[in-house]
Amino acid sequence: MTGKPKAKRPDSAPNGAANPMWGGRFGAAPADLMAEINASIGFDKRLYREDIAGSKAHCAMLMRQKVIPAADGAAIQQGLDRVLAEIERGEFVFDVKLEDIHMNVEARLQALIGPVAGRLHTARSRNDQVATDFRMWVRGALERTDAELRALQAALIERAEQHVATVMPGFTHLQVAQPVTLGHHLLAYVEMFGRDRDRARDCRVRLNECPLGAAALAGTSFPIDREMTARELGFDRPSANSLDAVSDRDFALEALALASIAAIHLSRLAEELVLWSSTAFGFVAFSDRFSTGSSMMPQKRNPDAAELVRGKAGRIGGAFATLSTTMKGLALSYSKDMQEDKEPVFDAFDSLSLCLRASAGMIHDVTVNVDAMARAADEGYATATELADWLVRALEMPFREAHQVTGRIVALAVERGLKLEQLDLDAMQAIEPRITAEARQVLAPIKAVEARNCYGGTAPAQVAAQVRRARERFL
Ligand code: ARG
């Protein structure tokens, strides 16, 4: 390269191109690529409500503690309200150069009220600010998740009540095992989603400590009142250690863990609906509202919503893997890696919400083919255990032996292409002479179901009791 070397910028030169929030010691603006990799405003603008609430609480505390003059504090509060209104009206212009939501809000505040806006950041850092905002956002997401899980439970309980006595095959290994009732099956999911709600509430309890006042990492020399800001923002207490407060994201990991577990539960329900709606099963039919057609095959009704609920479990679990890998091995306290915490959490909870609402809709709408279920329960030797149990009860046979005898009878029925109850008594007696006609009466699926009348069992009477208890516990 020829030409004169560029003149060095004199120390007194204006650095107008540098970031107005932290550009003091900088001579030039960041490279475009630096700005691009650094900016989080594209996604963290979702935190604007939490950010402004946090700033207002911080400002009120600074005023009360006389860290900032009351008049300045009042101007800041009013300015923040105006910023909030601008964002809600969609008028706010987010600027990538201002990196993130915190600096976008503060810069706009400055434009609105002038240099007093600069007092807001006293005794605060973006490190405690973002930790506080994010905790509040996750807290809201947990509360929404709880409400959406409850709505899904309500739909399942309602359908369970309609089907306390609807007999269907129960499966293990996806092989017909024993008859159960559809109500019982649906209530199994109500229990799973109930535990998911417990996990969301537990997570909220641990999450609900306020990082504000931790400042960058070490706390602050200003006489702040951390109890006050914590209370104002709905936290139970200020976090006990300022380093921990700005460093950890375990609350987000825990939220993602419970979201992943809920998504796994949803995916199993979705998979069953997909199977059950197939021509081979024919147990249920989706409403038009929750199925799609094929652009090529006119006869098709595809369970796309259920398939997507099943599929999204992958990305929700993936969000946990993403954030846990990001956090692993980070030295205390804040590192910019942690800016990567938000997108997986936003995406996971958006996806989970969609899945929960779609599942409730599908369950509410789905048509049950009671006859197809009854027919399937009547096939596959689902009541073989009944015969074995009868041998134990009536003949006082040890269960292992009864199992053997029944196995031989089933094999014979299979060989002759008959159902168990179609096999004549002579044929059974050829295998076990003490079998009487009474034994054949236990072979009807409804009898098998009614017999399982223990607490938590599949008998219609038990399922009706479970429906009652589920309403009390969950709705
Ligand atoms: N946008 C940042 C984040 O989401 C805010 C905190 C930045 N803190 C800092 N010291 N640069 O993590």
For residue 130, report the distance from its CA to the centre of ligand 1, in Å: 7
- Return d(Cα 403, Cα 215) in angstroms, integer: 69
pLDDT value at 4 more than 70: no
- Residue with CA closest to ligand 1 atom 3: 339
**Sequence-separated contacts (24+) of 430-436 with Cβ below 8 Å:** 431/405, 432/391, 432/395, 432/405, 434/395, 435/391, 436/394
Closest CA to 152 of 192, 106, 94: 192
For position 16, what pLDDT does the model report?
A: 58
Atom of ligand 1 nearest to the CA of 40: 1
Least confident of 24-38, 90-104, 113-127, 182-196: 24-38
pLDDT value at 21 more than 80: no
- Return d(Cα 165, Cα 163) in angstroms, integer: 5
R_g of the chain computed on alpha carbons: 32
pLDDT tens column, 405-420: 999 999 999 999 998 8
For position 3, what pLDDT does the model report?
A: 45
E strand or H helix at 230, and its extent? helix 226-232
For position 300, what pLDDT does the model report?
A: 79
Percent of the chain residues topping a pLDDT of 70: 96
pLDDT tens column, 261-306: 999 999 999 999 999 999 999 999 998 888 888 787 878 788 999 9
Q: CB neighbours (10 Å) of residue 467?
A: 21
Work out the average pLDDT over 369-384: 92
pLDDT value at 1 more than 60: no
- List phi, psi (to 5°) of 302: -100, 140
For position 9, what pLDDT does the model report?
A: 45
- pLDDT tier at 28 (50, 70, 90 boundaries)? confident
- Residue with CA closest to ligand 1 atom 11: 336
Residue-averaged pLDDT of the chain = 94
Cα 111 to chain center, whole Å? 40
Q: Which residues surround ligand 1 with Cβ inside 6 Å? A: 40, 44, 100, 126-127, 130, 334, 336, 338-339
For residue 338, report the distance from its CA to the centre of ligand 1, in Å: 8
For position 29, what pLDDT does the model report?
A: 83
- Residue with CA closest to ligand 1 atom 2: 339
pLDDT value at 19 more than 80: no
Q: What is the DSSP letter of 6?
A: P
Contact of 179 with 205, CB cutoff 8 Å:
no
For position 390, what pLDDT does the model report?
A: 94
For position 22, what pLDDT does the model report?
A: 78
- List phi, psi (to 5°) of 45: -65, -20
* Active-site annotation, residues: 173, 294
- Residue with CA closest to ligand 1 atom 1: 100
Work out the average pLDDT over 250-260: 98
pLDDT tens column, 150-168: 999 999 999 999 999 999 9
Least confident of 17-21, 138-142, 283-287: 17-21
